Amino acid sequence: MAADAAPGFLEKQFKLSRLGTNVQTEILAGLTTFMVVSYIIAVNPLTLTFNGELTVTQVATVTCLVAGVMSIIMGLYTNRAIAIAPGLGINAIVAFTLVGSMGLSFPEAMGVVVTEGIIITILVLTGVRQYVLEVVPLILKKAISVGIGFFILLLGLRGAGVIAFHSGDFESEVGTYTGRLDLAPLNSWPIFVSMIGLLVITVLMARNVKAAIFWGIIVSTVTAFLVPGDITSLPRDPFSGPDFSLVGEFSFGYWGELGILTSILVVLSLMLTDFFDTMGTLIGVGAQAGYLDENGELPDAEKPLLVDSVAAVAGGLVSSSSATSYIESAAGVSVGGRSGLVVVVTGLLFLLVLPFVSLVEAIPGAATAPALIVVGLLMMSVLSDDEGGVDRTGTRRGIDFGNMEDSFPVALTMLVMPFTFNITYGIGAGFVSFVLIKVARGKASQVHPAMYAIALLFLLYFLRWSLFGAEF
């Protein structure tokens, strides 16, 4: 495809001819990427407004703002077709772990995001980020992704009303327990709405429709208006415009609230999640777009890494949660997008939505729950990877569940997250068990010294009640 019709500025800025594309193709790819990524406008507010401290319009506003501005910066600075938006997974850590479990206010939780973003930015500028990525075994990176996937899946099932928590005692074969998760009676209209959305997404994905999640949310929202039960209604003032009151609402007061050890570990957990999610996205999209060199590496990787790191800071500054690179950017690449013009278009579309963000309040949780279910399932796809060989730490790249060295840390990481509703606990369990098993098997030399330091921090964290009399 030639770019002979491209205006001079666009050709010079985005190298369209060299990349074998043109303005029309890039605009279409940008629209496609927006359609696929735009579900975050509805899903991010669903997560961050769980306790009523923030409003849907506030969160939708900053979601569009950070996604629009940072996507445009990514396109202009890196000339890569990689969109930026608040990340699912990290927003769950912020909402359900930092605020829900640890009792931080949202400004304090966003202060954690700003801190980890600043640290990651420094690590990129000093060249350390790539080094840290190589320290952690690949099986743990995969386990973290899968564990967050299980967590998001659980949130989706609860949001759909399919799973309910029953308090009180119940008897089992191994004793008496207090409280349990159970399948809810499948007889309510909210569940019906969620199942319609899940059906639409599943069918459209099976037919390779790129914006399947977006259309699933739209169809289930329309269904919610049509069925009985007052599941949703139009906001009182649907065109009231954006609400920028969350911009700048962050605080570093979490250090005093949590204490030094816990603060270090929650920052570390966010950093690890950001690290691995971003690298997987850059390599995945880069492979499809033809960005990778003959060694499978991304040339000038420090540029998109830097923008991604700054996006984490920006997400905390505006209270949207950490913004990150989106694997869904592959949708735009799949229709021919190759240059940064793709995500400049995507970013502009996010900004154009701002006057209408109040309409997001009409989208009920039952309509966004299917999106969480599907995204959670997609995050588990790394379990099917079978790359063979070993990574630089001497650990197998594929997850061998018949091998105790792989199965224990991976299973603990994946299961502790949803069972405790705490992603930090899952990451810590994986790191500590990985090091302990390696040492027990006489393979201590295969563990990088940095892994020992991280595992020790998490071990102290788990023993904080008995060692330090901690109450958090």
Q: What is the pLDDT of residues 298-308, one digit of tens each?
A: 788 889 999 99
Structural domain tally of the chain? 1
Contacts of 383 (CB under 8 A, 6+ apart): 142, 146, 399
> Residue 277's pLDDT is what?
72
Output the pLDDT for position 387. Answer: 47
In a domain, 266, yes or no: yes
pLDDT at 94: 92
DSSP string, 417-468: HHHHT-HHHHHHHHHHHHHHHHHHTT-GGGS-HHHHHHHHHHHHHHTHHHHH
**pLDDT of 385:** 57
Residue 333 lies in a domain: yes
Which helix (DSSP H) or strand (DSSP E) does residue 305 occupy? helix 302-317
- Specify if 302 maps to a domain: yes
Two tokens at 415? 């299961």
pLDDT at position 327: 80
Residue 240 CB-density burial (10 A; 0-12 exposed, 13-18 middle, 19+ buried)? middle
Evaluate the CA torsion angle 257, 262, 264, 269 in order and state its sign. Answer: negative
**Neighbour tally for 18: CB within 10 Å:** 11
Residue 98 and residue 104 in contact, taking contact as beta carbons nearer than 8 Å: yes
CA distance 377 to 160: 15
Below-50 pLDDT ranges, the chain: 1-5, 387-396
Strand partners, 325: 84
Looking at the domain assignment, is residue 176 inside a domain? no
The answer as to whether 94 is a domain residue is yes
Q: Is 397 exposed, middle or buried (0-12, 13-18, 19+ CB in 10 A)?
A: middle
Range of the domain at 219: 8-167+181-468
CB-based contacts of 293, cutoff 8 Å, min separation 6: 299
- What angle, 0 to 180 degrees and rounded to 10, lies between the N-to-C axes of helices 260-289 and 128-135? 100
- Assess if residue 148 is contained within a domain: yes
pTM, two decimal places: 0.78
What whole-number distance in Å separates Cα of residue 338 and Cα of residue 14? 9
User: What pLDDT does residue 393 have?
Assistant: 41
Assess if residue 172 is contained within a domain.
Answer: no
Let me know if residue 386 belongs to a domain.
yes
